[in-house]
Amino acid sequence: MDHPEPSTHARLASERYGGVEVPRALAANDVVAVMLNHRSVRAYLADRLSEGTLETLVAAAQSAPTSSNMQAWSVVAVQDEERRARLAELSARQDFIRKAPLFLCWIADLSRLQRVGEAIGTRFEGLDYLESFMVALADAAFAAQNAVVAAASLGLGTVYVGSLRNRPDDVAAVLELPPNAVAVFGLCVGYADPAVPTAIKPRLPQSVVLHRETYDVGAEPAGIRHYDGALDGFTARTGQARTTWTVRMLNRVGRAGNLGGRDRMSEVLRALGLGLR
């Protein structure tokens, strides 16, 4: 495994933590560098992806761990412009979905296991329980993140789209999903437009998220205060409306109405055939 220049690795780590409590003992190699360099890309060139790119991303996704080898996920690759436009409309009208050459819809998919049971004349009762949906959701997330890392290694930009869950029943209709399957998030993939700069967004310091042996919140207040300052500085440097993480979280989950329609998720999941017992 090649090793990046220490100065490059240190710079990436500093940007990832906004210069706050930067870990000093991080191992350096190309894979870690690709991960530390992650940034969301919302502006894409019109260039088509190279032949075999989609299949490569799916192969990487299928190399992710999967609970009990259930492989309880699927992905719908959407390249048709009209369908991408419809999905953009359903996802808070985010236009970059329409402009990205590839939009991947990741599916928590229990329908395949349901069909396997039907094929052998057995009803898989375990699919009716919340645990099975949690497995499908986790499997889809593991797979998608593998695809994100693979895409970055190929020089591609990506951005996750959680707003695909705003209207999951309508999305299911657009994708013609069977019962017992739901699109849990989307992923834009394409070549980043170099005319639109991107930046590494700082994350919470490790003192807030890393607990050793037992859960300890002692360092959390100071860590969040420092992070509020780092994120405020990041938004100022990147020309965004200045804000702190605390204020962002207030706006995101302070009220149920801020969930953008996702407050009815359990109702919609049941309507799509998923059991949550």
pLDDT in tens, 9-48: 899 999 999 998 999 888 989 999 999 999 999 999 999 9
Which pLDDT does position 3 carry in this prediction? 53
pLDDT bin (cut points 50, 70, 90) of residue 5 is: low
CA distance 92 to 89: 6
| Cα–Cα distance measured from residue 230 to residue 179, given in angstroms and rounded to the nearest whole number | 44
Distance, CA of 66 to CA of 165 (rounded, Å): 23
pTM of the model: 0.94
- Whose tokens are 């890309």? That residue is 41
Which pLDDT does position 6 carry in this prediction? 57
Amino acid at the residue 247: V
User: Cα–Cα distance between 78 and 100 in angstroms, integer?
Assistant: 10
Q: What is the 3-state secondary structure (H, E, C) of the chain?
A: CCCCCHHHHHHHHHHHCCCCCCCCCCCCCHHHHHHHCCCECCCECCCCCCCCHHHHHHHHHHCCCCHHHCCCEEEEEECCHHHHHHHHHHCCCCHHHHHCCEEEEEEEECHHHHHHHHHCCCCCHHHHCHHHHHHHHHHHHHHHHHHHHHHHHCCCEEEEEHHHHCCHHHHHHHHCCCCCEEEEEEEEEECECCCCCCCCCCCCCHHHHCCCCCCCCCCHHHHHHHHHHHHHHHHHHCCCCCCCHHHHHHHHHCCHHHHCCHHHHHHHHHHCCCCCC
Across residues 210-221, what is the average pLDDT?
A: 97
Span 150-177, average pLDDT = 97
pLDDT tens-digit series, residues 61-117 = 999 999 999 999 999 999 999 999 999 999 999 999 999 999 999 999 999 999 999
